[in-house]
Amino acid sequence: MKNPLEADDEISVKELGQKVKKGLRFLSTKWPILLLAAIVGSISGLIYSSYVNPIYSAQCTFVLEEEGKGGLGQYSGLASMVGIDLGGGRSGIFAGENIIELYKSRRMIEKTLLAIDSSRGERFQLIERFISTEMGGKVGSTVLKEHNLRFDIAPEAFTDKHNSIVSEVVNEIRRNHLIVEKPDRKLSIISVVTKSRDELLAKSFTENIVRNVNNFYIETKTKKSLNNLTLLRRQADSIRRVLNMSITGIAEAADVNPNANPALRILNVPSQRRQIDVQANSAMYSEIVKNLEIASMSLRRETPLIQVIDEPVLPLPYVVFTKLKGIIIGTVLSLILTIGVLVFREAFNMFFS
């Protein structure tokens, strides 16, 4: 005796098969409409493929190497006594893969867009070229002309309309044009790819954003050590000047009394004071020079090595929306849409009839 549940499953499968057969018979009666839809879809796909520009890809890869812990362990105690922080292997704000997120920040993308570049005899600003190429073509250029908007001005002078357009462009680049990733998670190689219908724009944007982000990254990573080094250099120069003045003072004191009476010891006091100043300043100068060398080592240690491996070179690789691909996609989409309409209309008529 069969289980009732199994019987219900068997019946439902049979019903499903019958419905499929019924649907196929219904569609077979509509073959003229489906044929016409296929023809219209293929023609539409062919026309679309003729107007679609190729998508160019500009790729830049570079290796990021940062020194780890322990590089200056023997100097950490001495440096801390004089107020110098050697880092101690702390990760910092740009540790690990945060540089990838830095590429997607508004600040870096905006700075890149506002750059003016020259290539193949053309001089253009990236944001205006992007708007005219990727943001509606003539429509985007018309918007700039209607509002008399120019971006070759200081960002501080931007109006709300400027900022609105910049935000829209930045979001568009994040979503559809900029790809930043590590091809291999185990390696320190980072890949930056820009996709655009404009070959020169893709190449220029990639080169500019890599340069801007990497410079900002190095500057931020080394800012504290560089400030320490600058301060120590100023102190060393100041103590050196005082030491030179003390040495000169000894000579001047000796010249005032070249043949001092040994019985009058008071005459030797100025010279002795100058000698004490020289000794004290010499000791201070020696320590400052040591600290200066430690600070220099700290700066070299914290400066990350960024070495570009490959840069985008014209002509760039591109992907073409071929005519065959357009015909196939147009035909398939047209048939799916037509079948959906026919099935919906038939179900509607059966339900209300």
pLDDT digits (tens, 9 = 90+) for 195-210: 999 999 999 999 999 9
**pLDDT tens sequence across 281-292:** 788 878 888 888
Contact 195, 176 (CB under 8 A): yes
Question: Mean of the pLDDT values across residues 298-322?
Answer: 84
Confidence of residue 184 (pLDDT cuts 50, 70, 90): confident
Contacts of residue 167, defined as CB under 8 A and 6 or more positions apart, other chains included, come to 106
- Amino acid identity of residue 346, one-letter, is E
User: Which residue from 211, 204, 180 is spatially nearest to 193, judged by alpha carbons?
Assistant: 180
Contacts of residue 294, defined as CB under 8 A and 6 or more positions apart, other chains included, come to 72, 75, 78, 79, 84, 86
Please tell me the pTM assigned to this model. Answer: 0.66
**Alpha helix stretches (DSSP H) within 29-125:** 31-51, 73-81, 98-103, 106-113
Percentage of the residues of the chain whose pLDDT score is greater than 70: 75
Q: Is the pLDDT of residue 211 over 90?
A: yes
Q: Residue 124 has what DSSP assignment?
A: E
Q: Residue 132 has what DSSP assignment?
A: H
74: number of Cβ within 10 Å: 8
CA distance 176 to 173: 6
* 64 bridge partner residues: 306
* Cis-peptide, bond into residue 262, ω within 30° of zero: no
Mean pLDDT of the chain: 77
What is the reported pLDDT for 88? 46
Give the SS3 label for residue 60: strand
* E-assigned strand segments in the chain: 55-65, 116-119, 122-125, 178-181, 189-196, 305-310, 318-319
Structure tokens belonging to residue 226: 């560089």
What is the reported pLDDT for 31? 82
Structure tokens belonging to residue 45: 């796909």
**pLDDT tens sequence across 66-112:** 665 444 444 444 455 445 555 544 444 445 467 888 999 999 999 99
What's the start-to-end Cα distance of the chain, in Å? 41
